[in-house]
């Protein structure tokens, strides 16, 4: 009886092993490989992101979304965006703003240019201008979790805690992998819970 059970178990195991040369990941449409992720539509990437949060696949999905956010469809705008990113890293915000101004004129439908300019305005403590650009970003791409995170940070800075919590929750619904946003939300929830007592 034990030999029969062992033989059946071995047969089941061998049936599960792919034939030589067969790639499980390539043949299973539910497994998201880097290649299949690159082939997904932006809508599909956003749909699959929450269900894969906290996994290597979730990280790849997030990186692919960010990669696509940074592509405007214009080689000129993309080059200007890379220069603006360098200026931001060097804390040359005047130059970064000049470059980003050029991009939003050239490609007004490029959400990431608005988002980056919102970031520069935030770094310059120009919250009104930053909020205006965040609104433009979200009008173009409502699922832009980076813009939502920035919006929440500004609301928190303005002591609009309830609104900040709501915006942070929206960002986390789209991308549950935003650890800093989770921490900010948890901190705000503790603060507001203490105020209610």
Average pLDDT per run of 10 along the chain, which is 197 residues long?
A: 42 40 45 89 96 95 97 97 98 98 98 98 97 98 98 96 97 97 95 73
Q: How far is residue 47 from each of residues 40, 138, 197, measured CA to CA in Å?
A: 10, 18, 39
Query: Counting beta carbons within 10 angstroms of the beta carbon of residue 41, is it exposed (0 to 12), middle (13 to 18) or buried (19 or more)?
Result: exposed
Gap between the Cα atoms of 193 and 4, Å rounded: 62
For residues 65 and 101, membership in a common domain is answered with no
Domain assignment present for residue 19? The answer is: no
Q: What is the pLDDT of residue 18?
A: 42
Domain assignment present for residue 29? The answer is: yes
For residues 64 and 79, membership in a common domain is answered with no
Q: What is the pLDDT of residue 85?
A: 97
Radius of gyration of the chain (CA): 23
Query: How confident is the model over 86-121, as pLDDT tens digits?
Result: 999 999 999 999 999 999 999 999 999 999 999 999
pTM of the model: 0.81
Which residue range forms the structural domain that includes residue 155?
Answer: 143-197
C-beta contacts of 47-51 below 8 A and 24+ residues apart? 49/174, 49/175, 49/176, 49/177, 50/173, 50/174, 50/175, 50/176
Q: What is the pLDDT of residue 36?
A: 92
Domain assignment present for residue 56? The answer is: yes
93, 116, 134 — which closes off a domain? 134
134, 153, 173 — which closes off a domain? 134
Q: What is the pLDDT of residue 30?
A: 59
Domain assignment present for residue 16? The answer is: no
Of 118, 108, 184, the C-alpha closest to 147 is 118
Gap between the Cα atoms of 81 and 176, Å rounded: 27
Task: Provide the greatest CA pair distance for the chain.
Answer: 80
Query: How confident is the model over 163-179, as pLDDT tens digits?
Result: 999 999 999 999 999 99
**C-alpha dihedral sign at 106, 109, 113, 114:** positive
Q: What is the pLDDT of residue 194?
A: 73
Instruction: Write the CATH number for 118.
Output: 1.25.40.10
Of 100, 74, 103, 73, the C-alpha closest to 87 is 100
Q: What is the pLDDT of residue 196?
A: 59
Cα distance from N-terminal residue to C-terminal residue, the chain = 67
């Amino acid at each position: 009886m034990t030999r029969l059970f062992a033989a059946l178990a071995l047969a089941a195991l061998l049936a599960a092993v792919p034939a030589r040369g067969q790639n499980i990941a390539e043949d299973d449409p539910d497994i998201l490989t880097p290649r299949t992720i690159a082939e997904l539509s932006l809508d599909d990437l956003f749909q699959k992101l929450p269900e894969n949060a906290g996994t290597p696949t979730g990280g790849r999905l997030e990186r692919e979304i960010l990669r696509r956010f940074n592509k405007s469809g214009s080689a000129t705008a993309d080059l200007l965006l890379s220069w603006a990113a360098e200026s931001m890293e060097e804390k040359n915000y005047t130059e970064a703003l000049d470059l980003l101004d050029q991009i939003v004129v050239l490609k007004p439908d490029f959400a990431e240019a608005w988002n980056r300019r919102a970031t520069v305005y935030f770094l310059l403590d120009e919250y009104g201008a930053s909020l205006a650009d965040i609104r433009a970003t979200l009008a173009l791409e409502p699922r832009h979790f980076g813009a939502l995170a920035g919006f929440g940070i500004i609301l928190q800075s303005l002591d609009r805690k309830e609104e900040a919590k709501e915006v942070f929750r929206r960002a986390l619904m789209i991308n549950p992998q935003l650890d800093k946003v989770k921490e900010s939300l948890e901190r705000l929830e503790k603060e507001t819970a203490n105020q209610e007592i």
